[in-house]
Structure 1
Amino acid sequence: MTDRRAMLGALVGAAGASLAGCASPSPAAPAAAATKTALYRNVGDVLEHFEVDADAATLTRRGVVRLPAGLQYAWPHPSRQVLYATSSNRGSDLPGEVHHLSALRIDPVTGALQALGAPVPLKARSIHMSVDREGHFVLVAYSEPAGVSVHCIEADGRIGDEVAQPAALQLGIYPHQILAAPGNRKVLLVSRGHNAHGGKPEDPGVLHLLRFENGVLTPLQSVAPNGGYGFGPRHLDFHPTQPWVFVSLERQNRLDVFQLDGERLSSAPLFSRSTLGQPDQVRPRQLPSAIHVHPNGSVVYVANRGLATEPFNGRNVFQGGENTISVFAIHPRTGEPTLIQSIDTRAYHVRTFALDASSRLLVAASIAPMNVREGDRVTAVPARLSVFRVLADGRLEFVRTYGVATEKNFQWWMGMVGLPAVT
């Protein structure tokens, strides 16, 4: 899921001059230390709220809000209690025309959500979005057609005007993530590309490093090892104190580590590691998804998805593969990742996961049910929320799962937001 440090709140600097046509934001007080956690997850256009008990490792459903269409991604403001969400009725087989960006106020005591202003129409389906580290802008990435947009955040957290971007901005093929780097003066846009398929050649992947000033993005550098062939980045996260960028490569089942030095990203990875516990047994449709660095910088987590099915007794059943969270220890001097655990999620197609405000729990969300063969029987495993305790060394300990009724929808996104201490 998203950069958890933004979820738990960072200090927001005092406002300066007007930002790219946006209203000048009022100075924000330092974010209160989070003492509770709210978990949010969607099934289609329904966004549900759960209370998290880190001691008991339990999730309790508290309420729902509806979005204009199916949720695509969400991200919290770094200091104000606001959650931003993109929604769309378009899918792989649905040519939808409804695309929006919404702001939702988070109750600081209960975590309940309430609409904040009217949803803002978007030009296409947004597969990823985030908020800059100072809380002035919402950054939106579009995969098909490739595009980005930047939207002002008003002083009260509502969505303001869109900021005009350079016409010649290079975006690569199938942008999949947009994220502000530490310091908030640079943005990384991750473009995945496509594998060769059906006689169509491979589309290369690329990491775009962009300067970020007053909401305007301008090119600094594009990094595409081997011309981007055999390089299919999906998501990345930053180390909290060192200049290391950890990238999950969806098309290669790989974790790459790059160095970000000022306004330059290393042209090749410092380290490359398989994300799989059994890298010599890669099955069809085996793909990593989300990646998150622990806030203390000691480990990085990557989700692995095994999606392939095969026919059995008239039904499509799971063909095999890894549906796991891989845990990599990060060398404190070099950034080298070492796999120390690959733990089963007891679910299929984990697309998002997150840590709670205390970093004591990790929850992973799978998107849909899966038929699983057990001898001559077939069991339908529902979509799930899988709950793990985080141990002292960053390894995970499985606790429980919660089944999710998805029907014809997907549990497409899940995240957790810290709530401030309120007396």
Structure 2
Amino acid sequence: MSDTTTRGVSRRGFGLLAGAGAAAALTRGDAQATVALTRADAQAAPTPAPARRRAYLGTYTTQPGGGTGIGLAAYRPRSGELASTGVLPGVSNPSFLALSPDRRTLYAVDERARGAVTAVRVGQAGPPEVLGESRGTGGADPCHLSVHPGGRFLLTANYTGGSVCVHPIGRGGVLGEASDVVQHTGSGPDPARQEGPHAHMVVSDPGGRYVLAVDLGTDSVHTYRLDPRTGRLHERARAAMKPGAGPRHLAFHPSGSYAYVVNELDSTIAVCAYDRRAGTLTPGAPLPTLPPGTEPTERNYPAAVVISPGGRFLYVSNRGHNSIATFVVECGGAAVRLVSVTPSGGSYPRHIVLDPSGTLLFAANQKSGTVTVFRPDRATGRPDPVGAAFAAPIPVCVLPV
């Protein structure tokens, strides 16, 4: 109802009645008619639907049943309902996606033996558009990337290559040739998965001072300093995780004083104290991501870890057990406690992520070809499913914006 109407009578009309001395003479029937009119107007007035927001889906294009490029979708923040809006073809194996700080450019890995990264313009009214040429990452099978907080460099982890790559970002988000490729060395006790280094994630710390690379193959987390003039990485520290744990991803507490490292090979998560000035991690004792006594029908491989915006809850995806573990964060971030384990609504939840508001949790179930959406309970943190599962070809990454 507009501000020029008061309970069914316009301000102008009400003023005329008052000027004639008739306002006090409104009969009970007149008043009832006014209320009825107001209700009728309220029922007739259309309720504006909440605006849909964009989402991007990563997949494998070289596997049977995979997609043909980056999936384009939209979701409703109120209901969590996802709907397909098309595909951006021509981007191979975009298994992980990241957005620039200004949200105008999307970056995708090309997870193949000759690894590459691609830039896509998305911050415009028209359809997404590939920017310039894809750039080689100097290593095989890039599986994760992130944009440095300053927006001038793209950081990529080469899984099979066991290395970390840096690309300068030019005007309009276009990628330049790699400015540095740092090769990790070493191995771990698991001969099948740790025969050599396997960089699985590279991300900047909350202050943007250091870059941390998580290596599954060597059970270590490397800390680098990025030179803003040359785009080169200089190692400052290295944290040793539990042998055979297989660290995969990490998430920082909003305070920046703690990081949570999820371990793929032994189904654990470790709380690490983080020295923001020195960039050093001090790992604590690992905790299981599954309830005591759990016996999955297949081996479990935790994949992603995400923390709520306020730092109250931590979520981990369990592939194999097909669940999402919820931890409550305690002692200002220094401790976590498992409080619930919720079915992921599909098979093999490789990637989970919160939307920018922190009110919706998305899970990309790789083997079942579905994306499920949850609404975490504000009091307990437990994710409650909303709506039906969204079908997608081999979804391995989902990026709501």
- TM-score of the superposition, structure 2-length normalised? 0.76
Q: Deviations over 1:291-323 (max 9, x none)?
A: 1111111111100011xxxxxxxxxxxxxxx21
Native 8 Å contact 1:75 1:129 kept in 2: yes
Q: What is the rounded CA distance, in whole Å, between the counterparts of 1:232 and 1:301 in structure 2?
A: 18
Distance 1:171 1:157, change over 3 A: farther
Distance 1:264 1:120, change over 3 A: closer
Q: Which residue of 1 aligns with 2:312?
A: 298
- 1:48 is the counterpart of 2:62: no
Q: Which residue of 2 aligns with 1:186?
A: 210
Q: What is the rounded CA distance, in whole Å, between the counterparts of 1:242 and 1:139 in structure 2?
A: 20
Q: What is the rounded CA distance, in whole Å, between the counterparts of 1:334 and 1:240 in structure 2?
A: 9
Identity of matched residues, %: 26
- 1:114 is the counterpart of 2:113: no
- TM-score of the superposition, structure 1-length normalised? 0.73
Q: Deviations over 1:225-269 (max 9, x none)?
A: 4xx513210100111124100110101111101011121434431
AA partner of residue 185 (structure 1):
R
Native 8 Å contact 2:225 2:233 kept in 1: yes
2:81 to 58, 62, 68: 58
Q: Which residue of 2 aligns with 1:413?
A: 397
Distance 1:217 1:405, change over 3 A: closer
AA partner of residue 100 (structure 2):
H
Q: Secondary structure at the match of 1:247?
A: strand
Native 8 Å contact 2:273 2:334 kept in 1: no
Task: Map residues 24-423 of structure 1 onto 2, 5 A cutoff.
Answer: 37-43=53-59, 44=61, 45-88=68-111, 90=112, 96-97=113-114, 99-108=115-124, 112-123=127-138, 124-164=140-180, 173-193=197-217, 204-214=218-228, 215-225=231-241, 228-261=242-275, 262-269=277-284, 271-306=285-320, 322-369=321-368, 383-393=369-379, 394-404=381-391, 406=393, 410-417=394-401
Q: State the Cα distance separating 1:107 from its structure 2 match.
A: 3.5
Q: Which residue of 2 aligns with 1:317?
A: none
Of Structure 1 and Structure 2, which has the larger fraction of its residues in helix?
2
Q: What is the rounded CA distance, in whole Å, between the counterparts of 2:164 and 2:400 in structure 1?
A: 25
Native 8 Å contact 1:49 1:61 kept in 2: yes
Distance 1:120 1:188, change over 3 A: same
AA partner of residue 106 (structure 2):
L
Q: State the Cα distance separating 1:354 from its structure 2 match.
A: 1.4
Q: What is the rounded CA distance, in whole Å, between the counterparts of 1:108 and 1:337 in structure 2?
A: 41
Of Structure 1 and Structure 2, which has the larger fraction of its residues in strand?
1
AA partner of residue 304 (structure 1):
N
Q: What is the rounded CA distance, in whole Å, between the counterparts of 2:83 and 2:158 in structure 1?
A: 33
Give runs of ≥4 in structure 1 deviating > 6 Å. none
Native 8 Å contact 2:268 2:287 kept in 1: yes
Q: Which residue of 2 aligns with 1:312?
A: none
For these two proteins, the number of residue pairs brought into alignment is 330
Q: What is the rounded CA distance, in whole Å, between the counterparts of 1:284 and 1:352 in structure 2?
A: 18
Distance 1:279 1:114, change over 3 A: farther
Q: Which has the larger radius of gyration?
A: 2
After superposition, the CA RMSD in angstroms is: 2.2
Q: What is the rounded CA distance, in whole Å, between the counterparts of 1:177 and 1:368 in structure 2?
A: 22
Distance 1:277 1:151, change over 3 A: same
Distance 1:171 1:62, change over 3 A: farther
Native 8 Å contact 1:49 1:63 kept in 2: yes
Q: What is the rounded CA distance, in whole Å, between the counterparts of 1:164 and 1:55 in structure 2?
A: 43
Native 8 Å contact 1:185 1:213 kept in 2: no
Q: Secondary structure at the match of 2:235?
A: strand
Q: Secondary structure at the match of 1:156?
A: helix
Q: Secondary structure at the match of 2:95?
A: strand
Distance 1:56 1:209, change over 3 A: same
Q: State the Cα distance separating 1:64 from its structure 2 match.
A: 1.2
Q: Which residue of 2 aligns with 1:314?
A: none
Native 8 Å contact 1:70 1:87 kept in 2: yes
Q: What is the rounded CA distance, in whole Å, between the counterparts of 1:390 and 1:132 in structure 2?
A: 29
AA partner of residue 302 (structure 1):
V
Q: Secondary structure at the match of 1:145?
A: coil
